[in-house]
Amino acid sequence: GDSVTQMEGPVTLSEEAFLTINCTYTATGYPSLFWYVQYPGEGLQLLLKATKADDKGSNKGFEATYRKETTSFHLEKGSVQVSDSAVYFCALSSGTYKYIFGTGTRLKVLA
Amino acid sequence: SQTIHQWPATLVQPVGSPLSLECTVEGTSNPNLYWYRQAAGRGLQLLFYSVGIGQISSEVPQNLSASRPQDRQFILSSKKLLLSDSGFYLCAWSPRGADTEAFFGQGTRLTVV
């Protein structure tokens, strides 16, 4: 079945460091890909998405490119802030009404 | 605009007691509805999803059940809670059609004692 694998955390960075969180997927067909962010005690918020190969999703300085050849959707940000500390989830939807999530990566940014 | 309401925000229940968590969506019709569980330090596990009134698909055999009595209402229930039912429960909805994201409620923190 469909699955999402993302790097385990926690990831600890200093403010203004470069961030990469790896995400790879397995899916039949052509899934849509998403990154969600979860702040403590809250639900998930959509951060960005991409619906077809080579699409780049971006929001709030975060970017991810849908790479069909490597089945990847890595999240990047050039300069992280303390306020970016959260848990990040990679997810896919392949048209079966279901959204499949990775296990989440906790990011901690130190001032 | 569309909104999703989920309640209660926190709940402490004894083992063996019943459970009812409710989720409603406003501002849209005929949504797909979902219940996820997030155990401490772990990812999201899809429990149930529904594509219409009375239509429930279960992803994981367990002590829980779900119902959709109205188009925009989704209820998660249990007759007798177990300690292992503790976790963070999230309701979500998505519009019909492909390539759309899911929208999440604020979650319910359930502690079974």
**Model pLDDT for residues A60-73, shown as the tens digit of each residue:** 999 999 999 999 99
Beta-carbon separation of A43 and B44 below 8 A:
no
Q: Answer whether B92 touches A (CB < 8 Å).
A: yes
Task: Please say if the pLDDT value at position B36 is more than 70.
Answer: yes
Which chain A residue's Cα is nearest to B90? Answer: A43
Number of Cβ within 10 Å of residue A16's Cβ equals: 10
Inform me whether the C-beta atom of residue B32 falls under 8 Å from chain A C-beta atoms. Answer: yes
- How remote is the C-alpha of B108 from its chain's centroid? 9
Flag whether pLDDT at B61 surpasses 80: no
* Tens of each residue's pLDDT in chain A, 111 residues: 889 999 888 999 999 999 999 999 999 888 999 999 999 888 899 999 999 999 999 999 999 999 999 999 999 999 999 999 999 999 999 877 789 999 999 999 999
Specify the residue for token string 């569980």.
B37
Chain A residues near residue B100 by CB distance under 8 angstroms: 32, 93
Q: Of A43, A49, A98, which is closest to B107 when you measure between CB atoms?
A: A43
Checking if the pLDDT of B98 tops 70, the result is no
Are the beta carbons of A32 and B99 separated by less than 8 Å? yes
DSSP string, A22-65: -EEEE-SS--EEEEEEE-TTS-EEEEEEE-STT-EEEETTEEEE
Q: Provide the pLDDT for residue A35.
A: 98
Average pLDDT on B10-20 reads 97
The answer to whether residues B44 and B25 touch, using CB atoms and an 8 Å cutoff, is no
B43–A44 CB contact, under 8 Å? no
B2: confidence class by pLDDT, cuts 50, 70, 90? confident
Phi, psi of B83 (to 5 degrees): -55, -35
- Quick one: residue B95, left, alpha or beta (phi over 0 = left, psi -120 to 50 = alpha)? beta
**Cβ of B107 and A32 within 8 Å?**
no
Per-state percent for chain B, helix, strand, coil, to nearest 5? 5, 55, 40
> How many beta carbons lie within 10 A of that of residue B3, not counting itself?
12
Residue A24: per-residue pLDDT: 97
Asked if A98 and B105 come within 8 Å (Cβ–Cβ), the reply is: no
Contacts of B96 in chain A (CB under 8 A): none
Report phi then psi at B86, rounded to 5: -60, 145
Confidence (pLDDT) at B17:
97
Q: Which of A97-111, B67-81, B91-105 has the lowest mean pLDDT?
A: B91-105
Q: Measured between alpha carbons, how far is A67 from A88 in angstroms, rounded to an integer?
A: 19
What is the pLDDT of chain B when averaged over all its residues? Answer: 92
Q: What is the pLDDT of residue A9?
A: 85
Backbone angles phi, psi at A4, to 5 degrees: -130, 135
CB A107 within 8 A of CB A22: no
